[in-house]
Structure 1
Amino acid sequence: METNQLHRGRLIDHVQLVVRDFKASQDFYTAVLAVLEIPIVGTREDFFWADELVVSSAESPAALGALTGRHHLAFQAKDRARVDAFYRAALAHGGRDNGAPGERAYHPGYYAAFVLDPDGNNIEAVYHGEAQRSVPSVVIEF
């Protein structure tokens, strides 16, 4: 029998957004990621990355000249205050309102804010409340 352990938060290896206005997107993501305490770990002339997120211009070799479509990305926030700060930072750096901070009906304690980034992607910051903070890793045996 083989046992594999899945770790919460590691389903996706990385996501790449190819954007029209690289500078506008860099300003937007630098601001919103800073309030969520997610560092930008690398920057080049035509792309930057933070953890599993890569944002690049259409001129970047990995982009192959094509913009990505519209996506919904949700970033985890450590508390409600960071969700609120994310929302304010996003609006101050080129984001557009797509749902002010507040409780959502997805599950008790789900507190989120939604904004559209400069390319129209639906970007969310979510705090799941204290009840959701201690979800253990899942072990699958087969």
Structure 2
Amino acid sequence: MEFHRGRMLDHVHLRAKDLAASKRFYQAILEVLGIPLGSHGPDNFFADELFVSTADPGAPSGRGVHLAFQAKDQEMVKRVYEVALAAGGKDNGGPGERPYHPGYYAAFVLDPDGNNIEAVYHGPAKRSAPSVVFTV
């Protein structure tokens, strides 16, 4: 059994009602974060650990999904927030300090399917450690 320290999520799969709107939205955020879009097809796209596809007919989408992107600094949080709004997102909490721990600076938007998207900077004291793998 392996335990990966410093890597909270392996991947996130979102289902979109309007794939073109979702692609525009996420591509704008990913550009600010410096993450290239992987590949894309008529019913999906991906970038790093994020995979977005069209919703299965009759399946709910945008139901309580929360996705947090790690930003390098407060300015990147602000920029993600701005481009997310410009790309069709809706405000869900503008850039600012949050009470989760000292230095937690974040902004929240809802994507075109109502998923809660966060950009977060943990401050210099809370920078994540390099990924470490333990074999048990």
TM-score (norm 2): 0.88
Aligned position for 1:108: 102
Runs of 5+ consecutive residues of structure 1 not aligned to the other structure: none
SS of match in other structure, 1:24: helix
Aligned position for 2:59: 66
1:104-132 Cα shifts (integer Å, max 9, x gaps): 01001100000000011000000001011
Aligned length: 135
Aligned position for 1:35: 32
For 1:18, which of 10, 15, 18 is the aligned residue?
15
Aligned residues: CA RMSD = 2.1
Preserved contact between residue 5 and residue 137 of structure 1 (Cα < 8 Å): no
Runs of 5+ consecutive residues of structure 2 not aligned to the other structure: none
Preserved contact between residue 24 and residue 87 of structure 2 (Cα < 8 Å): yes
SS of match in other structure, 1:75: strand
How far apart are 1:22 and its partner, in Å?
0.8
Supply the AA of the counterpart residue of 1:55. V
Supply the AA of the counterpart residue of 1:85. R
Give the Cα–Cα distance (whole angstroms) in 1 for the partners of residues 52 and 78 of structure 2.
23
How far apart are 1:37 and its partner, in Å?
1.3
Give the Cα–Cα distance (whole angstroms) in 1 for the partners of residues 128 and 49 of structure 2.
22
TM-score (norm 1): 0.85
1:12-69 Cα shifts (integer Å, max 9, x gaps): 32211111111111100000111111221111111000111111112xxxx4762432
Q: Percent of counterpart pairs with the same letter?
A: 59
SS of match in other structure, 1:25: helix
